[in-house]
């Protein structure tokens, strides 16, 4: 459960090389997502509010963003559609994102990629897709990764959360509004300082 602290325990002593590698990772993924999105027609509404919060909020003010979740590529394409290229080159303003351990940290390659892409490993409740039985009960709202995110927020960082806790399947999307937000978001808001909170959906 303390994977997040194992990954980031030396972040102060390795600040410069980590920042360089994260900047390279962000710049590459930002450019790749911009190129991919250029082949499609997008209608982005209200992005100026998010950009204003990223660029102009006080340095000690936390930022929480929330979105629904339709595919594993949502995070990359959200960043690609909402952020400017200058944001990808400045990793200090880029988001941290809660990422599922059972999907994003299954190999050393995946672990390193999401580490450089500012992923925060989260233990969530997992159900077997066929039987519906719970195979992992998750770490709950008081797991170390949630503590880590609260510390990030209270130092003025940006944390992004996929509030439904899983990818919403096509047959569920008609009733998506009935799917509740995960309780952890409430804890992030309640235990943070003054929060600039933005709710947006990508579909």
User: What pLDDT is recorded for position 199?
Assistant: 64
Query: What tens digit of pLDDT does each residue of 80-97 get?
Result: 777 888 888 888 888 898
The pLDDT of residue 151 is 93
Q: For residue 5, what pLDDT is reported?
A: 60
pLDDT at position 32 is 83
Reported as a pLDDT band with limits 50, 70 and 90, residue 105 is: confident
State the pLDDT at residue 71: 59
Please enumerate in sequence order all residues whose Cβ is within 8 A of that of 164, keeping only pairs 6 or more positions apart, or say none: 68, 69, 179, 181, 182
Q: Where are the alpha helices (DSSP H) in the chain?
A: 3-8, 15-37, 47-56, 74-82, 85-89, 101-104, 108-116, 144-153, 183-190
Query: Do 149 and 5 meet the contact criterion of CB atoms below 8 Å apart?
Result: no
Q: What is the number of residues in the chain?
A: 203
pLDDT band at 143 (very low <50, low <70, confident <90, very high): confident
pTM of the model: 0.80
- Going by pLDDT thresholds of 50, 70 and 90, the confidence category of residue 180 is low
Give the chain's count of helices (H) and strands (E).
9, 7
pLDDT at 158: 92
* Interval 6-54: pLDDT, tens: 677 665 555 677 778 778 887 888 888 888 778 878 777 778 888 898 9
Q: Where are the alpha helices (DSSP H) in 117-164?
A: 144-153
> The domain containing residue 188 runs over which residues?
3-7+15-199
Better-predicted residue by pLDDT, 112 or 181: 112
Tell me the pLDDT tens digit for each residue of 107-138.
888 888 888 888 898 887 666 667 777 766 67
* Structure confidence by residue, pLDDT tens digits, 151-179: 999 999 999 888 755 555 556 556 656 55
Question: Can you say whether residue 118 is alpha, beta or left, with left for phi > 0 and alpha for psi between -120 and 50 degrees?
Answer: left
User: pLDDT band at 63, cuts 50/70/90?
Assistant: very high
How many structural domains are present in the chain? 1
């Amino acid at each position: 459960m303390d994977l997040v602290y194992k990954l980031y325990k030396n972040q102060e002593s390795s600040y410069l090389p980590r920042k360089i590698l994260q900047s390279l990772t962000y710049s590459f993924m930002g450019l790749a997502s911009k190129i991919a999105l250029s082949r499609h027609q997008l209608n982005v509404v209200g992005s100026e509010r998010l950009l204003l919060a990223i660029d102009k909020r006080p340095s000690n003010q936390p930022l929480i963003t929330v979105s629904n979740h339709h595919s594993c590529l949502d995070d990359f394409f959200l960043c690609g559609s909402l952020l400017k290229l200058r944001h990808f080159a400045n990793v200090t303003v880029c988001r941290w994102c809660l990422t599922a351990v059972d999907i994003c940290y299954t190999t050393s390659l995946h672990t390193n990629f999401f580490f450089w892409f500012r992923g925060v490993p989260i233990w969530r409740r997992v159900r077997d897709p066929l039987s519906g039985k719970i195979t992992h009960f998750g770490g709950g709202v008081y797991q170390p990764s949630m503590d880590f995110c609260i510390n990030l927020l209270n130092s003025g960082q940006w944390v992004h959360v996929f509030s439904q806790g899983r990818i919403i399947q096509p047959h569920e999307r008609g009733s998506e509004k009935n799917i509740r937000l995960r309780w952890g978001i409430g804890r992030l808001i309640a235990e943070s300082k003054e929060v600039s909170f933005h709710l947006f959906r990508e579909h």
